[in-house]
Homo-oligomer: A and B are copies of this chain.
Amino acid sequence: MSQHIISVSARHRETPFTRRVNAAGVKCYSVYNHMLLPVFFDSVEADYRHLKDHVQVWDVSCERQVEIVGPDAAKLLQILTPRNLSTMTVGQCRYIPVVDDKGGMLNDPVAVKLAEDRYWISIADSDLLFWVKGLAIGFELDVEVFEPDVSPLGVQGPKSDELMARVFGDAVREIKFFRFERFDFQGVSLCVARSGYSKQGGFEIYVDGTELGEPLWDALFAAGEDLNVRAGGPNLIERVEGGLLSYGGDITRENNPYECGLGKFCSVDENSVCIGRDALAEIARTGPSKQIRSLAIEGDPLIPAASPWPILADGKPVGRVSVGVWSPDHRTNVALGIVDKSHWDDGTRVIIATPQGERNATIMEKSFK
C-alpha cells in the first residue's frame, strides 16, 4: 500500500476514540472531513481477512453530522436531494445524492430522520454544512443548521450482531437495515443504526459528545474478546469488491448521480423542488454517456494510486479507473472506474494503462460481491 508521511496538525481533528485507536496500534490514518480516520491496524490485507471472518470496531467519527432542526427541516432536506423523501418516517436512514445546480455531486451522505422536524445528514468527505447553511440562509428557511458533536462508531463484520447484543441487549438484532433504534449505554440514550461502509453487515452507533467514547470502546472490546474483536477501518479491498463508492475519489463534482449508478434515487419532475432539477431531468431524458463500473484487472497485484489510470480500447481512451487493488479472495485486481457507454456492457474487454504497465481487464455489470 502506497503511503505518505503527514505532519500532526490541529487542522486534523482527533476523535473521542483517538487514544484507544493509537493504543490499538493504528498503522495508517487518512484525513476525512478535517479529522483523523484510522485506515488499518495490521495490514490492509490482514484487516480485510479479519473483517470478513470476525467483527471490527471502526472509529468513523469523521462521518460528521449536519443537523437540520426546525419547522422547515423537511422542506430543506427535499431541496437538497433529488431522492423523493415524502414517505421517509422517523427511525429511517436514507442514502441521498446531494447535487448542485448543474446536477454535479456535492456529497453522497446518509440522512437520518430523528423527528418530524429534525434530521442528521451523515456526510462523506466534503463540507456539506456550508452548502446546507448557505441554502437555508439564501432561501430564508426557518431552520437551524449546525455540526453537532456526534461521532459514529462502526461495528462491522459477520459477528456484529452477537457483539452488539452482548453490549446493548438482544433487541439490537431486530433493527432492520437502514433503520435506527435508541439504546441506553451507561444511562445515555444513543441512536444505533444497522448501516456502515462494508458489505459484511453491522451497525453504526452515533456517540454524543466525547465522554462516552472510551467507555463504549472498552465495553465492546471486553464483550468481544472470544469473538476476536479488533480495531479496524473502512477497508479498501472489501469496499471495492462490494462496489461502495468513495466521494472525492470515485465521485466528484464533475459527476452526476446517473453516472454514479444513483439514477434510481432521482425522482425529478415538474413538482420536484430539489436544486439541479432541470439539469437532472435533461440527463434522465438522454441517459448518461458514461457510468461507474466494476472491473477485473488481470496480472500481478497492483499498487493503488492517487491518480486515475486510463481505460483504453483500440488505443483510445474510453474511461478512467479511480481505484484498483488486489483481492485475495477473487485472485484478481478489483477496481472501480467510469466507462463510456460504448464500452460499459458486461464482459467488455479493455486495456488499463497502470503505472505497472498495460493490463487486460474486463468490465462488469455488477460488483464482485
A residues apposed to B, CB below 8 Å: 1-14, 27-32, 34, 36, 39-40, 100-101, 106, 125-128, 130-140, 147, 236, 246-250, 253, 275, 304-308, 322-323
Measured in the bound complex, the distance between the Cα atoms of B294 and A150 in whole Å is: 32
Of all chain B residues, the one with the shortest Cβ separation from A303 is B8
Residues of B within 8 A of A101 (CB): 133, 137
* Distance from A66 Cβ to chain B, minimum over Cβ atoms (Å): 11
Question: Of B8, B305, B308, which one neighbours A4 at CB under 8 angstroms?
Answer: B8
Residues of B within 8 A of A250 (CB): 10
Are B126's CB and A130's CB within 8 A? Answer: yes
Are B5's CB and A4's CB within 8 A? Answer: yes
* Distance from A77 Cβ to chain B, minimum over Cβ atoms (Å): 14
Measured in the bound complex, the distance between the Cα atoms of B137 and A134 in whole Å is: 9
Chain B CB count within 10 A is highest, among A8, A11, A125, A135, for: A11
| Total identical chains | 2
Measured in the bound complex, the distance between the Cα atoms of B248 and A12 in whole Å is: 8
Residues of B within 8 A of A322 (CB): 10
Q: Which 6 pairs between the two chains have the least Cβ-Cβ distance?
A: A138-B138, A134-B134, A10-B249, A127-B127, A11-B248, A130-B131
Are B29's CB and A5's CB within 8 A? Answer: yes
Residues of B within 8 A of A1 (CB): 7-8
Residues of B within 8 A of A34 (CB): 125-126, 248
Measured in the bound complex, the distance between the Cα atoms of B348 and A258 in whole Å is: 60
Residues of B within 8 A of A27 (CB): 5
Of all chain B residues, the one with the shortest Cβ separation from A136 is B138
Residues of B within 8 A of A132 (CB): 134
Residues of B within 8 A of A125 (CB): 11, 34
Task: A10-B246, A13-B306, A147-B253 are known; give 19 further A-B pairs, CB within 8 A.
Answer: A3-B5, A4-B36, A5-B29, A6-B6, A7-B236, A9-B246, A10-B248, A10-B305, A11-B30, A11-B125, A12-B31, A14-B307, A106-B130, A131-B131, A131-B134, A134-B134, A135-B137, A137-B138, A137-B275
Are A28's CB and B5's CB within 8 A? Answer: yes
Residues of B within 8 A of A249 (CB): 9-11
Are A306's CB and B134's CB within 8 A? Answer: no
* Distance from A179 Cβ to chain B, minimum over Cβ atoms (Å): 29
